[in-house]
Amino acid sequence: MLLGAAIAVPVVIFFARAFSDGGSGLTRLGRIPDLGKILWTTVLLAIGGTAIGAVIAVFLAVVATRVPARLRGVASVIPLLPLVIPPVAFVYGWIFILDPKVGYANVLLRKLPFLQGDSGPINIYSTAGILFVTSLEVSAIIFAFVHARLREINGSVEGAARVSGASPTRTFWTITFPLLRPSLVGGLVVTFLIQLGQFTAPLFLGVRGNIEVITTEIFRLREQYPIDYPLTAALGLPLLVFGIVAILVQRSVVGDQRKYITTSTGRGVDKRRSWPAGTIVVGYGILVVGLPIAAIALVAFSPFWNGDLGNLTFSTENFTTAFDDPFLPQSIINGLESSLIAALIVLALGFVGALALSGVVRAPGPVKRALDFIFIAPLAIPRALLGMVVLFVFIRPPFSLYGTLALYVIGYIFVALPFSMRSQYSSLIGVPFSLFEAARVCGSGPFRTIVGIALPVAFRGMLAAFTLAFSMLVNEVAVSLMVQAPGKQVVGTLLYSLQQGGEVPEIAVLALIMTAITAIVLTLTLSLGGRSSLENL
């Protein structure tokens, strides 16, 4: 309950500002220029990105179950890679490819006879461009939910339906799809909430096209002095209310996930294996992940960026220039330190929550329901608003944390908490509960049961939770920008400063470095826990 209070109290304190001074924040909402357009763009990107991401994710999940055995591990990991690629690197990779004037793809396309000119034909700085980038990112989230569940579904159940005369279509809709419901609904709700509060892509892509969403408008208000907290709280209040309602609906629809567990070891919804399926998944990885990273590397190692692939020259001058700036190494160190601390804290909190929710540690039903909501509740608040909550509450006495790394750590804990618990819970929920009961019958106490059984069982889930939390936090932009203070930069704030100064080569260098760090963490996770450790994402 202390955890619930630690989450709820700061949120309530901040959003109460919307009603202070006779509701001045609410009454001044109408003064925000183009508020209707901002709201429409926010909703459009949320619905469109979720829908497109869901189609991509379900298609990839089904295809990944049909790849040959030797490609099964690769097929399970490739669609998840957008989850661990730094968001700014992902966005800038596509900028380097699709910038209207000097994007590598646009320069190549304009060499076609019917597409000549000095700009286009594709404009990444548009609503469609933002939708394209964000839908690719969130497709990994839905894939993580759906693919893991497809692999868990008891293959003998579908086989029994086929033997009984059910067609493949009927088998899918009457057997497989109902069993997928918790994963699919969970993925859609999480994705929609993330899309509703998206920040990075609109911030970096929307500036040229004057495209604003609610979170970027909140950031604009935050940059003004003094900060108008009542107005920012009022602007974010609809997102908070909608997020809470969405989570309650999702909890009601899904219910107890144990009723969706199948007990035999059958795997997959379709046993047919084909090399074309493997080609599709690998090709998707090359196009969606490989191309942006390659574009970043080209810009980072090129003396200048003009989009011409025919006359490339390479140099390390950009790296020398970047590291001559003392802010770059210090920002990386600050980011690594604060992210590591936050990731370890949420890992421990998530494990405790997973123990209670899975039944390893006995807890009353109301306590379980409260814990479930507490851990997922931060998803109802967009990250930009979470940053504002932390800034408003923790820069004042008795905390007075302005200008310290602790402010980043607190904000990062809010961001990573939901993902940490779910990953570890997924590891425990599939284990027959009789295993823990047998340990108790044999005289094993709670501590010994946790250390001897629960920890080994949850190991891969813990690796996945740490990998996702650390990768997410070390590259976090929204919370970082909201709580930043002069002299205490992290990677996200430095990237924004470089973008404001138009220092594109330095952005490419920093994005490449952070991608390499994330790749190292991912490699270590796979080495320690195997590819199945990422299936608990």
The predicted structure's pLDDT at residue 51: 92
Mean pLDDT of 151-173: 63
Q: Across residues 367-373, what is the average pLDDT?
A: 78
Mean local confidence (pLDDT), 476-498: 89
In percent, the amount of the chain with pLDDT more than 70 equals 85
Phi, psi dihedrals of residue 485, rounded to the nearest 5°: -140, 150
Rounded Cα distance, 117 and 358, in Å: 61
What's the longest Cα–Cα distance across the chain?
A: 79
Q: What pTM did the predictor assign?
A: 0.85
Would the CA dihedral through 382, 383, 386, 388 be positive or negative?
negative
- Compute the distance between CA of residue 520 and CA of residue 487 in angstroms, rounded to an integer: 28
Is 90 exceeded by the pLDDT of residue 296? yes
Q: How far apart are CA 79 and CA 74, in angstroms?
A: 9
Distance CA 373, CA 353 (A): 11
Answer yes or no: are the C-beta atoms of 126 and 38 closer than 8 Å.
Answer: no
Q: Tally the C-alpha atoms within 13 A of residue 140's C-alpha that lie toward its C-beta.
A: 22
Token code pair at residue 106:
């646009």
268 pLDDT exceeds 60? no
* Nearest alpha carbon to residue 191 among 65, 64, 52: 52
Percent with pLDDT over 90 in the chain: 22
Lowest mean pLDDT among 313-317, 359-363, 373-377: 359-363
Which amino acid type is present at position 51? Answer: A
Contacts of 354 (CB under 8 A, 6+ apart): 360, 421, 424, 425, 427, 428, 458, 461
The residue behind tokens 């926010």 is 42
Cβ partners under 8 Å of residue 68, min gap 6: 273, 274, 275, 278
What pLDDT sits at residue 406?
A: 92
Q: Which of 178, 174, 189 is nearest to 251 (CA)?
A: 189
Q: Are 498 and 510 in contact (CB under 8 A)?
A: yes
- CATH of the domain spanning 2-16+32-307+315-536, picked from 1.10.3720.10, 1.10.620.20, 3.65.10.10, 1.10.240.10: 1.10.3720.10
Q: How confident is the model at residue 263, as a pLDDT?
A: 47
CA dist 363 and 92 (Å) reads 47
Q: Note the pLDDT of residue 341.
A: 95
Please report where in the chains the tokens 């009457």 appear, as a residue: 174
